[in-house]
Amino acid sequence: MQINNLERFRAKIAAGGVCVGTVITLADSTVSELAGDAGFDFTWIDAEHAPHTLQTVLGHVMALRGTNCAPFVRAAWNEWGVIKPILDLAPAGIIIPMVNTKEEAEAAVANCKYPPQGRRGFGARRGTRYGAVPVKDYLVQSEADPMVIIQIEHVDAVRNLDAILEVPGIDSICVGPNDLSGSMGKLGRIDDPDVAQAIDEVCEKTKRAGIMLGTASAPFPPWKRRGVDWIALCGDTGCLYERSRQILEGAQ
């Protein structure tokens, strides 16, 4: 849908580029508008760990409509009632955390798709541009929009990855390195050889399956080597803190 810039995001990746984004945790939608004007390809609106409400998420999604930036939303959990209202905001993608089995992946896809493919409840509002788009056209668009992004962030998911990748309807796999390291008893040690090997395995299998690969992590070089298609390299509070420190240090 043009309303969420997903076509631009997909086109850049199809042309061989890597889409770069930022994580949004602050409530003020100005942050998202700024991200779009700065040139980010997408935002990661974090409704899992940040104190967002549906209203603040909507503000962030709407703030990007006049930019070239695609809004993604990470849901708090893989649950029908949690995911449904986020989908009705017409984001470019929905990131579903902690998917560890084929059955959980199937449930995630079903939560995002209208019948007969899934069990998403129908309450189109923003997706039809409040009536400007005929429902029949919107339903065709909704088969591929928003993107369904499955987060692999537990060692159990790594073990079950072959089966997960076989689930129809998954548009992208997103690696969660910190929680993955925690599930291996090595929280935050994403450069640990065992953790790095698990991440490499996820990336290799995802690329081999022809599925888009993404993450929210830094630095960029190791992820570029792994073939990442999209990556959130920073966050709003982190950017603000780092720039503040630079200004203070420059004033010494």
> What three-state secondary structure class fits 95?
strand
52 an active-site residue?
A: no
Residue of 49, 52, 60, 154 with catalytic role: 49
Q: Taking Cα atoms as reference points, which of 93, 118, 233 lies closest to residue 172? A: 93
What is the rounded distance in angstroms from the CA atom of residue 214 to the CA atom of residue 93? 12
> What three-state secondary structure class fits 4?
helix
Neighbours of 218 (CB within 10 A): 14
> What three-state secondary structure class fits 173?
strand
The CA-CA-CA angle for residues 213, 119, 129, to 5°, reads 75
Ordered alpha helix ranges (H), the chain: 6-14, 30-38, 54-63, 80-87, 102-112, 135-141, 155-159, 161-164, 177-183, 193-208, 220-225, 236-250
DSSP state string for 27-63: S-THHHHHHHHHT-SEEEEETTTS---HHHHHHHHHH
172-175 vs 42-46, strand pairing mode: unpaired
Q: Annotated catalytic sites, by residue?
A: 49
